[in-house]
Amino acid sequence: MILLDTHVLLWLADDAPRLGRRAAKRIDTASAGEGVAVSAVSYWEIATLVERGRLRLRGTVEDLRARALSNAIGEVPLDGQVGILAAKMRGVHGDPADRMIAATALEQNALLVTADATLLAWRGGKTLDATR
Protein backbone atom coordinates (compact mmCIF):
# COMPACT_ATOMS: atom_id res chain seq x y z
CA MET A 1 0.00 0.00 0.00
CA ILE A 2 0.98 3.61 -0.55
CA LEU A 3 0.22 6.14 2.18
CA LEU A 4 -0.04 9.75 1.08
CA ASP A 5 1.17 12.54 3.31
CA THR A 6 -1.41 15.29 3.82
CA HIS A 7 0.12 17.71 1.32
CA VAL A 8 0.26 14.98 -1.34
CA LEU A 9 -3.47 14.37 -0.92
CA LEU A 10 -4.03 18.11 -1.43
CA TRP A 11 -1.76 18.13 -4.48
CA LEU A 12 -3.70 15.25 -6.01
CA ALA A 13 -7.01 16.97 -5.30
CA ASP A 14 -5.80 20.16 -6.99
CA ASP A 15 -3.92 18.40 -9.79
CA ALA A 16 -0.93 20.45 -8.62
CA PRO A 17 2.22 20.47 -10.74
CA ARG A 18 4.35 20.03 -7.60
CA LEU A 19 3.57 16.31 -7.68
CA GLY A 20 6.44 14.72 -9.60
CA ARG A 21 5.94 12.39 -12.56
CA ARG A 22 7.60 9.42 -10.87
CA ALA A 23 5.46 9.83 -7.74
CA ALA A 24 2.27 10.32 -9.79
CA LYS A 25 3.01 7.18 -11.81
CA ARG A 26 3.69 5.16 -8.64
CA ILE A 27 0.40 6.37 -7.14
CA ASP A 28 -1.49 5.47 -10.34
CA THR A 29 0.07 2.00 -10.37
CA ALA A 30 -0.80 1.44 -6.72
CA SER A 31 -4.39 2.58 -7.32
CA ALA A 32 -4.85 -0.37 -9.64
CA GLY A 33 -3.13 -2.85 -7.35
CA GLU A 34 -1.84 -2.59 -3.80
CA GLY A 35 -3.96 0.45 -2.93
CA VAL A 36 -3.55 4.09 -1.96
CA ALA A 37 -4.64 5.55 1.36
CA VAL A 38 -4.26 8.46 3.76
CA SER A 39 -4.18 8.48 7.52
CA ALA A 40 -7.38 9.73 9.13
CA VAL A 41 -5.22 12.34 10.87
CA SER A 42 -4.70 14.01 7.48
CA TYR A 43 -8.34 15.11 7.46
CA TRP A 44 -7.95 16.48 10.97
CA GLU A 45 -4.82 18.34 9.84
CA ILE A 46 -6.59 19.82 6.80
CA ALA A 47 -9.69 20.80 8.80
CA THR A 48 -7.48 22.49 11.40
CA LEU A 49 -5.60 24.47 8.74
CA VAL A 50 -8.88 25.56 7.12
CA GLU A 51 -10.34 26.54 10.49
CA ARG A 52 -7.28 28.67 11.27
CA GLY A 53 -7.43 30.37 7.87
CA ARG A 54 -4.07 28.91 6.77
CA LEU A 55 -5.57 26.83 3.95
CA ARG A 56 -8.35 27.44 1.46
CA LEU A 57 -10.08 24.60 -0.30
CA ARG A 58 -12.41 24.42 -3.23
CA GLY A 59 -15.38 23.16 -1.27
CA THR A 60 -15.32 21.71 2.23
CA VAL A 61 -13.07 19.20 3.93
CA GLU A 62 -16.01 16.81 3.78
CA ASP A 63 -16.13 17.29 -0.01
CA LEU A 64 -12.39 16.60 -0.26
CA ARG A 65 -12.77 13.41 1.78
CA ALA A 66 -15.74 12.24 -0.27
CA ARG A 67 -13.83 12.83 -3.54
CA ALA A 68 -10.81 10.97 -2.21
CA LEU A 69 -12.90 8.00 -1.11
CA SER A 70 -14.76 7.94 -4.44
CA ASN A 71 -11.38 7.92 -6.23
CA ALA A 72 -10.33 4.79 -4.33
CA ILE A 73 -8.09 6.59 -1.84
CA GLY A 74 -8.68 4.66 1.33
CA GLU A 75 -8.58 5.95 4.86
CA VAL A 76 -6.52 4.31 7.59
CA PRO A 77 -7.95 4.97 11.05
CA LEU A 78 -5.75 5.78 14.00
CA ASP A 79 -5.48 3.14 16.66
CA GLY A 80 -3.70 2.77 19.95
CA GLN A 81 -0.65 1.09 18.46
CA VAL A 82 -0.13 3.99 16.03
CA GLY A 83 -0.50 6.45 18.91
CA ILE A 84 2.11 4.62 20.99
CA LEU A 85 4.50 4.33 18.05
CA ALA A 86 4.06 8.03 17.17
CA ALA A 87 4.87 9.03 20.77
CA LYS A 88 8.13 7.08 20.55
CA MET A 89 9.08 8.92 17.34
CA ARG A 90 9.70 12.34 18.94
CA GLY A 91 13.22 12.42 17.49
CA VAL A 92 11.92 11.74 13.99
CA HIS A 93 9.70 14.80 13.61
CA GLY A 94 8.50 17.65 15.81
CA ASP A 95 4.99 17.73 14.33
CA PRO A 96 2.68 15.22 16.06
CA ALA A 97 0.48 14.83 12.94
CA ASP A 98 3.52 13.95 10.84
CA ARG A 99 4.63 11.44 13.47
CA MET A 100 1.17 9.83 13.38
CA ILE A 101 1.31 9.66 9.58
CA ALA A 102 4.80 8.11 9.70
CA ALA A 103 3.70 5.69 12.42
CA THR A 104 0.68 4.70 10.31
CA ALA A 105 2.98 4.01 7.36
CA LEU A 106 5.18 1.83 9.57
CA GLU A 107 2.25 -0.03 11.09
CA GLN A 108 0.75 -0.66 7.63
CA ASN A 109 4.16 -1.48 6.07
CA ALA A 110 3.27 1.19 3.52
CA LEU A 111 5.38 3.37 1.27
CA LEU A 112 4.98 6.96 2.49
CA VAL A 113 4.77 9.47 -0.36
CA THR A 114 5.87 12.85 0.98
CA ALA A 115 7.82 15.98 0.18
CA ASP A 116 8.67 16.56 3.84
CA ALA A 117 12.47 16.67 4.01
CA THR A 118 12.54 15.40 7.59
CA LEU A 119 10.47 12.34 6.71
CA LEU A 120 12.45 11.71 3.53
CA ALA A 121 15.68 11.71 5.57
CA TRP A 122 14.15 9.32 8.12
CA ARG A 123 15.58 5.82 7.86
CA GLY A 124 12.89 4.09 9.88
CA GLY A 125 10.43 3.47 7.06
CA LYS A 126 9.96 3.43 3.29
CA THR A 127 9.52 6.83 1.66
CA LEU A 128 9.18 8.24 -1.84
CA ASP A 129 9.84 11.88 -2.71
CA ALA A 130 6.55 13.30 -3.95
CA THR A 131 8.30 15.99 -5.99
CA ARG A 132 10.13 13.56 -8.27
Alpha-carbon distance values, 29 to 22, 48, 49 (Å): 11, 31, 30
pLDDT for the residue 67: 96
CA gap 78, 97 in Å, rounded: 11
pLDDT for the residue 113: 98
Delineate the domains of the chain, giving CATH numbers in brackets. 2-129 (3.40.50.1010)
**Mean pLDDT per segment of 10 residues, for the chain of length 132 residues?**
98 93 96 96 97 95 97 96 91 87 96 95 91 96
Instruction: Answer yes or no: are the C-beta atoms of 32 and 72 closer than 8 Å.
Output: no
Global model pTM greater than 0.85: yes
CA gap 39, 17 in Å, rounded: 23
